[in-house]
Structure 1
Amino acid sequence: MPQLTLYPPSAHVVFHGGNLIFSHEVEKAVHDIHAACRGIGTDEQLLTKALGNKSPETRNLIAVRYHQLHHKTLESLVKGEASGSYGKLLRMIATPLQETEARLLLDATKGSGTNETLCIQILAGRTNEEMQILRNTFFNKTGKDLSVVMNSEITGDFRKIVMAILQAPQISYDPQIHHLQRAEMDANELYKAGQGRLGTNEEKFIRVLVESPPQHLKLIDDVYYQKHHNSIVKAVEKEFSGDAKMCLLCMVQLALDPFPTIAKMFEGAMKGFGTDELILSTALVRYQKYLPYVQTAYKQIYGKELRHRIKGETSGDYENLLLTILDAPQDPEYTGSSASQPGGCYQQPPPQYPPQQYPPQQYPPQQFPPQQFPPQQYSPQQYPPQQYPPQQYPPQQEANFQQYPPQQYPPQQYPPQQYPPQQYPSQQYPPQQYPPQQYPFQQYPPQQY
C-alpha cells in the first residue's frame, strides 16, 4: 500500500497557497471553545466535546479559524486552562498537527538528553511533502533548521539515518522504474552491504531503505527472502543496534505492515510498570485517521480491544479525552474546507483507503449498423493545350583551325645497354598433392539431328 499521510487535507491546501472556507460546524466549535474558557474556571467537559469529538480535518480548521477570529492561538488559550497529561493532550489537539510535531521535536532535543523514541516515531515513514511541511513549520516556529538541530543532538549510525531521512527525499513510486529487475538489484545491494560482507556498509544500506517507496520496498523484501531466506527486518536486526536499529525497524515496518506496527506502538507505551503518557497521546493524535484499522490489528495481535487497554491504564479527564478521540468521527471524502487558487480550485490529496476489490464487469456486445457511403464521382479534368513560341538561334560559325607544317626530328641513337647477369637462388617447393577430383557423371539426352 502507499505511504501513510498524517496531515489533514487543509494542511496541504495551506502549504500549496490555497484558501480555506469554514463550515458551520467549525464556526460553532470556535464559539463553544471561546465560551468554555471565558471567566474563572474551565468547562473541561465542553472542551473535551468541542475538540476531542472532531475529525482531524475539522479540528485543524477549528485551530486556524480561532486564530483568525480572536488573534491568539487556540493552544495558548488551553495551555493556561488545563495541566498534567490532560492539559498536554488538549494542547496537541488544539494545535495543527504539523505545529504539534514541531513543538514535540523541539522539546525532545532540548536539555541534557534527547527523547529518541519520540523523534523516531515522528520522523520515520513520512512522505516527501509532509516532511517538507514539517521542516518549514519547525523553522517558522523556532527560527532553526531541523537538520541542523538533529545533527547537533544525536550521534553515530542514528545520526546517519536521521540525516538521510531529512535530506534524501524518497523516490516516488513508478512501475516503469520500480520493477522486479530493480528490486533484485536493490536486494543484492542490501545483501552485499550487510550480511554478505564482514562489517556493514551503513551508508549504502541506509540509502536503499530510505529512498525506496513502500510498494518497491515490499518487492525488495520478497526478493531478499527468496534469495537469502531472510527478511529485511531480520537483516536490520543483525546489522544495527541501539537507536539506529529502532529507527530503521520503525521505518521499514511502517512501510511493509503499517497498522500492526502502529498497534505495537500503543502497546509499547502502556506495557510494563507505568504508562508513557506522552508517547500514548502522540500516537493517538498522529494516527487518528487510521484508528479503525489500528484497533482491528491490535485485537488480532493481543486478543483484546485497544479501548479497554487504554481504559485500564488511564483515569480521570485524561482517560475521558483519550476515549473521546478514539471514538471521534472520521473525515468524510469532502470536509468543511475548500481551496481556491487563481484560475481554478486546488485539488486536495486523495484520502488513503484500503484497496477495494470489485467483481469483473460484463457488458453486452455492441452491434453497430454497417456504414454506407454514396459512391464518389469526380468530373474529368480538362486542361487547355500549351503553346510555346518557336525558338530562334543565331547561326553558328565554324571555328578557324590553325594548320602547322609537319615536324621533323633527327633519329636518336642510344648506346647498347649491358647488364651483369643476375643469379637467383633456386627455389625448391615441396611437391603439391591434390586429392583426386571426382565429378558426377553427366548424362545428356541423346541429340537428334
Structure 2
Amino acid sequence: MSYNYSYNQPPYQQPGQNPSYPGYAQPQLSASGGFMPGMPPAQQYAPPPGAPPIPGNRPQSGAGPSSNGPGYYPPQGPPPQAPYFPPPPAPGPGPYGYAPSPVPPPGPPLVQQPYGYAPPGGYLPMPQYLGTPIPLSAMNKYSTDPPVPGYDARGDVEAIHKATKGFGTDESQLIRTLAPLNALQVATLATQYKAAKGRDLGQLIEKETGGWFGMGLRGIILGPLGWDVELLHRAIAGVGTHEDLLNEILLSRTNDEMNMLKSAYRDHYGRNAEQDVSNDLSMKTKNLFVMAMNASRVPDNVPVNPQQVAVDIDQLHNAGVGRKGTNEMVFCEIMVNRSGPHLAAISAAYHAKYKMTLTRAIKKEFSGHMKDALLYIAEGAKRDGRGVWRDAKLLEHSMAGLGTKDERLVWRIIRAHWDRQRMEAIKASYQAKYKKSLAARIKGETSGDYQKLMIQLVG
C-alpha cells in the first residue's frame, strides 16, 4: 500500500527552470533585456537533448534567427495556461524491479481532503496499517484528520464522560463505546473529546482503569500504528529485550507498514527506530532485524517465480542441514526479503524435496532469539503465507500451561481485531486446530472487565 504525501504541496521545480516548461533552462537576461554575453546559444532557450521543442519557440516560414544569437527564436504566442510540473524523481528500483516506498517526512503537517474525495487525477489512496485505514495524524502529529463519513463522535464523547465522571467508573459503558470503533473513528473521538472536555482521552482512560483491561483500552485509543510504536519501545526499553514482542512488531511486515512504523516512532520519540533496535541486539540477530527494518521485502502482489523458489530451497538446504555448520546470513536474507506467497511456496517445496519441514530445519540449526525470529517468519509462511495459522497458534500459546500470559494475549487480540476479516480467519483456523472456539477459550482463562473486553473484540 502506498500513499501520496505531496499532492497538496507546491509544484516541484528545480532552480533555474523555465516556469512554463519544466526541464528547460531559464534564459539569463542582462539589465537591458538581452542575453548575458558569452552564454552559449544552446543554453539560452533551448530544450535539453531529446526533449520536445518548445511551442512558440520555432522559426516561422521565411524567418531567420534573431539578433539575440544563433539558434534563438523569440517565443511565439501566449504561454500555456496550466503548465504541468512533474513530481520529484522516484527512488531507484529495488530488488525484483520494484521501487521502495518513501519514508514519510517528519515536521510539517500533512493535509488530506475528506476521505473519499477525488482530487484531479483520481482518488487519494488512504494509508493502511494492520489491514485497516489509519488517520494521517497517526503518522504525523501535526496533521489534521478529515471527518469520517457517517460517524458523529458527540454521542460517544458524552458516553465516555458520563462513564468516568464522579466516583467510580462504568467499565461496561467504556467497552460498549470503544470496542466497536475502527481506527479512523477512534482518532476522531479522541480529537473531539479533547475539544469538548479539555482532557486527553488516553490519559483519562489510563487514570480511570488499570490492569490488563486498562492496557487493552489504551491499545484501542492509540490505534494500530500508535500502539505498535509504544509496543516497539516497550520491547527494547530498560534491561533486556522483549523478544516475542519484537518479533511480532517487526517481522513479516510490508514495506509501507515498516516505513510508517519507523516514521511514527521518530515522530513520537525523536529517535531512530533502526538505531534503537540495533543497539539492543547483537551479532547475527542484529543483522536479521536491520535487514527487516530496511523495508526491501518483495511485495505480496508480485507473482511467485518457481525458478527462484527452486534456487532458494537449495540455498537454504546447503546453508543448513546440508553442510557442517550453518550459514546464518543465507537464511536471514531469504526469510526476511521474500514475499509471503513466495515463502509459502518455499515451505511446500522444501518439504517435498528434502522430506523435512522448513521449521524443523530451522530448529536443528539455530537457537535462542535467532531461532524464534526465523520460526516466526517460517510459521507465518505455512498454508497461504498470510500468517493466520501462526497467529491462531500464538493465541493458544498465550493461554496454554499454568497461568495465562496476559500481556501477550492482550497485544495479540488488540492488534488482530483491527482487521475484522483476518480476525474471522484466525478464529476459523483456531477452531479447526484446537476443536474449540477462541471466544470460549478466552472466557475460560480471563475474568471481569478484562474478559468482557477480550470477548467483545474477538466477536
Counterpart of 2:222 in 1: which secondary structure? coil
- Superposed, which structure 2 residues align to 1:226-245 within 5 Å? 226-245=352-371
The equivalent residue for 1:369 is none
Distance 1:57 1:263 in 2: 26
Q: Could you tell me how far 1:26 is from its partner in structure 2?
A: 3.7
Contact 1:51–1:93 (CA<8 Å) still a contact in 2?
Answer: yes
- The 1:140–1:302 alpha-carbon spacing in structure 2 relative to 1, beyond 3 Å, is same
Aligned residue type for 1:108: A
The equivalent residue for 1:224 is 350
Distance 1:218 1:12 in 2: 33
Q: 1:161 aligns with which of 248, 271, 288?
A: 288
Q: Could you tell me how far 1:173 is from its partner in structure 2?
A: 4.3
- The 1:25–1:231 alpha-carbon spacing in structure 2 relative to 1, beyond 3 Å, is farther
Say whether residues 1:298 and 2:427 are aligned partners: no
The equivalent residue for 2:205 is 78
- Superposed, which structure 2 residues align to 1:97-136 within 5 Å? 97-136=224-263
Q: Could you tell me how far 1:252 is from its partner in structure 2?
A: 2.1
- In the alignment, structure 1 segments of 5+ residues that lack a partner are 328-449
Aligned residue type for 1:166: M
Contact 2:134–2:183 (CA<8 Å) still a contact in 1?
Answer: no
Q: Once structures 1 and 2 are overlaid, which stretch shifts more, 307-316 or 247-256?
A: 247-256
TM-score (normalizing by structure 2): 0.65
Q: Once structures 1 and 2 are overlaid, which stretch shifts more, 208-217 or 66-75?
A: 66-75
Aligned residue type for 2:268: K
The equivalent residue for 1:360 is none
Q: Could you tell me how far 1:90 is from its partner in structure 2?
A: 1.3
Aligned residue type for 1:123: L
The equivalent residue for 1:273 is 402
Aligned residue type for 2:451: E
Distance 2:245 2:138 in 1: 26
- Superposed, which structure 2 residues align to 1:251-262 within 5 Å? 251-257=377-383, 258-262=387-391
- The 1:167–1:271 alpha-carbon spacing in structure 2 relative to 1, beyond 3 Å, is same
Q: CA deviation digits over 1:249-291, x for unaligned, max 9?
A: 1122223342221111111111111111111010101111222
- Superposed, which structure 2 residues align to 1:400-439 within 5 Å? none
Say whether residues 1:34 and 2:161 are aligned partners: yes
The equivalent residue for 2:327 is 201
- The 1:18–1:196 alpha-carbon spacing in structure 2 relative to 1, beyond 3 Å, is farther
Distance 1:70 1:134 in 2: 30
Q: Could you tell me how far 1:210 is from its partner in structure 2?
A: 0.8
- CA RMSD across the alignment: 2.5
Distance 1:149 1:313 in 2: 35
Q: Could you tell me how far 1:292 is from its partner in structure 2?
A: 1.4
Aligned residue type for 1:187: I
Distance 1:145 1:127 in 2: 19
Distance 2:156 2:227 in 1: 20
Q: Give the % identical residues.
A: 29
Distance 2:235 2:174 in 1: 27
Contact 2:139–2:263 (CA<8 Å) still a contact in 1?
Answer: no
Distance 1:18 1:239 in 2: 50
Q: Which has the larger radius of gyration?
A: 1
Counterpart of 2:332 in 1: which secondary structure? helix
Q: 1:182 aligns with which of 308, 320, 324?
A: 308
Distance 1:5 1:53 in 2: 18
Say whether residues 1:93 and 2:225 are aligned partners: no
The equivalent residue for 1:211 is 337
- The 1:171–1:34 alpha-carbon spacing in structure 2 relative to 1, beyond 3 Å, is same
- The 1:235–1:126 alpha-carbon spacing in structure 2 relative to 1, beyond 3 Å, is same
Q: CA deviation digits over 1:2-35, x for unaligned, max 9?
A: xx96152134797598953223344432332233
The equivalent residue for 1:324 is 456
Aligned residue type for 2:286: R
Q: CA deviation digits over 1:50-78, x for unaligned, max 9?
A: 11233455335434554565565421121
Counterpart of 1:251 in 2: which secondary structure? helix
Q: CA deviation digits over 1:377-436, x for unaligned, max 9?
A: xxxxxxxxxxxxxxxxxxxxxxxxxxxxxxxxxxxxxxxxxxxxxxxxxxxxxxxxxxxx
- The 1:164–1:49 alpha-carbon spacing in structure 2 relative to 1, beyond 3 Å, is same
The equivalent residue for 2:317 is 191
Q: Could you tell me how far 1:194 is from its partner in structure 2?
A: 1.7
Distance 2:136 2:313 in 1: 34
The equivalent residue for 1:46 is 173
Contact 1:125–1:255 (CA<8 Å) still a contact in 2?
Answer: no
Contact 1:67–1:74 (CA<8 Å) still a contact in 2?
Answer: yes
- In the alignment, structure 2 segments of 5+ residues that lack a partner are 1-127
Distance 1:279 1:314 in 2: 13
- The 1:239–1:70 alpha-carbon spacing in structure 2 relative to 1, beyond 3 Å, is farther
- The 1:104–1:276 alpha-carbon spacing in structure 2 relative to 1, beyond 3 Å, is same
Q: Could you tell me how far 1:224 is from its partner in structure 2?
A: 2.1
Aligned residue type for 1:278: E
Counterpart of 2:350 in 1: which secondary structure? helix
